[in-house]
């Protein structure tokens, strides 16, 4: 097991108020597994991704019953141990490769800061991520590269130390549609080669569906459903997952209107004692605004809903 998280909450202090960005999140990632996190903007996906490496501002308060990455209790690590965790166990790829690269240094020098290697080895690494003219790229500065090329470089750099967990937060959001699949194929293939697990954050449901074995659907700082991918897409149990899948552009047939999810997500000032989705839920009943739903087991995972979709879940409720 590379990640084991139980009841993880993150609060940001913002002046006199606090914002509950994550609210008792629990999940696990097996070594080599591929897990996707989806949900509307503000649901907590990036906060979760950043919390795993404790890449949060000092205004963040983290609480958890279990918070383990690579067998280490992340919340109790000294600064030195945390640096080692970030260097040896976890690697990150973010949306904007230009922001991840140092504009003042040539690529070869930046790569050598990750691992000291000769030019031939660095070239091999760039060839491994589909770069055909590695010598030119090694001597280039980031502004001399295209976005797709720069993202290939950040992938090569992220994998240089053979991390056990790669966290990819919208890694292709800034790329042309034609490049997305290519870069994603590369990223997942390289991770499979070194046995790294991937935590993939994305708004792009078809991409997540294609690459991940398991998907966590987030809403208002909670994981409202976590299922094996095929199970989620064939029978989403939570009304929010159903709405999200229905709102996906690919879900509409030609000439049909897209289904938007009515309403807006709640302000996250404190944990709620009701279902946070209840005000927008087409199936909500009185109990939904009186009780906080906990996980119910369902084929291939679990969902937090008092009146879920499948017959199997209704029996437990
Ligand atoms: N440093 C911070 N200080 C205060 N609030 C924050 C901070 N970082 C995130 N938040 C808040 O936490 C909540 C979750 O944000 P987060 O960025 O994790 O969502 P997200 O699902 O990744 O959204 P998106 O898909 O738009 O990236 C939001 O309400 C956001 O405004």
How confident is the model over 199-238, as pLDDT tens digits? Answer: 999 988 989 999 999 999 999 999 999 999 999 999 999 9
Residue owning the nearest CA to atom 9 of ligand 1: 47
Q: Separation of 229 CA from ligand 1 center, angstroms?
A: 25
Indicate which atom in ligand 1 lies nearest the CA of residue 48.
18
Residue 162 banded pLDDT, cuts 50, 70, 90: very high
313: part of which helix (H) or strand (E)?
helix 311-316
- Residue 312 in this model has a pLDDT that exceeds 50: no
Indicate which atom in ligand 1 lies nearest the CA of residue 42.
19
Residue 268 banded pLDDT, cuts 50, 70, 90: confident
ipTM score above 0.90: yes
- Residue 311 in this model has a pLDDT that exceeds 90: no
From its phi and psi, is residue 145 left (phi > 0), alpha (psi between -120 and 50) or beta? beta
Helix axis angle for 119-128 and 107-114, nearest 10°, is 90
pLDDT 10s digits, 278-297: 999 988 999 999 999 999 99
Least confident of 5-9, 14-18, 120-124, 288-292: 14-18
The residue assigned the tokens 């047939």 is 253
- Cβ of 58 less than 6 Å from ligand 1: no
Q: What does the block give as tokens for 112?
A: 């050598």
- Residue 3 in this model has a pLDDT that exceeds 90: yes
């Amino acid at each position: 097991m590379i990640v084991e998280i139980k009841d993880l909450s993150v609060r940001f202090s913002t002046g006199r108020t606090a914002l509950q960005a994550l609210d008792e999140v629990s999940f696990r990632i097996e070594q080599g597994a591929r897990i996707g996190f989806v949900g509307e903007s503000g649901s907590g996906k990036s906060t979760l991704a950043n919390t795993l490496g404790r890449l949060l501002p000092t205004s963040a308060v983290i609480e958890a019953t279990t918070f383990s990455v690579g067998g280490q209790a992340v919340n109790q690590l000294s600064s030195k141990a945390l640096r080692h965790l970030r260097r040896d166990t976890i690697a990150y790829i973010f949306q904007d490769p230009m922001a991840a690269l140092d504009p003042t240094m040539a690529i070869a020098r930046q790569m050598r800061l990750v691992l000291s290697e000769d030019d031939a080895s660095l070239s091999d690494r760039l060839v491994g991520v589909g770069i055909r003219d590695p010598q030119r790229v090694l001597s280039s500065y980031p502004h001399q590269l295209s976005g797709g090329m720069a993202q290939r470089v950040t992938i090569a750099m992220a994998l240089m130390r053979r991390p056990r967990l790669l966290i990819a937060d919208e890694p292709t959001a800034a790329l042309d549609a034609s490049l997305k699949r290519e870069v994603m194929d590369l990223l997942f293939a390289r991770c499979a080669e070194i046995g790294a697990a991937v935590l993939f954050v994305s708004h792009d449901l078809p991409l997540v569906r294609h690459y991940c074995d398991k998907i966590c659907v987030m809403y208002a700082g909670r994981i409202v459903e976590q299922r094996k991918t095929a199970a989620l897409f064939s029978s989403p149990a939570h009304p929010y997952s159903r709405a999200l899948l229905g709102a996906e552009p690919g879900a509409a047939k030609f000439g049909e209107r897209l289904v938007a999810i009515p309403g807006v997500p709640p302000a996250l000032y404190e944990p709620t004692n009701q279902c946070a989705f209840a005000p927008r839920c087409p199936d909500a009943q009185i109990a939904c605004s009186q009780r906080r739903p906990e996980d119910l087991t369902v084929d291939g995972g679990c969902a937090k809903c008092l009146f879920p979709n499948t017959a199997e879940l209704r029996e437990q409720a």
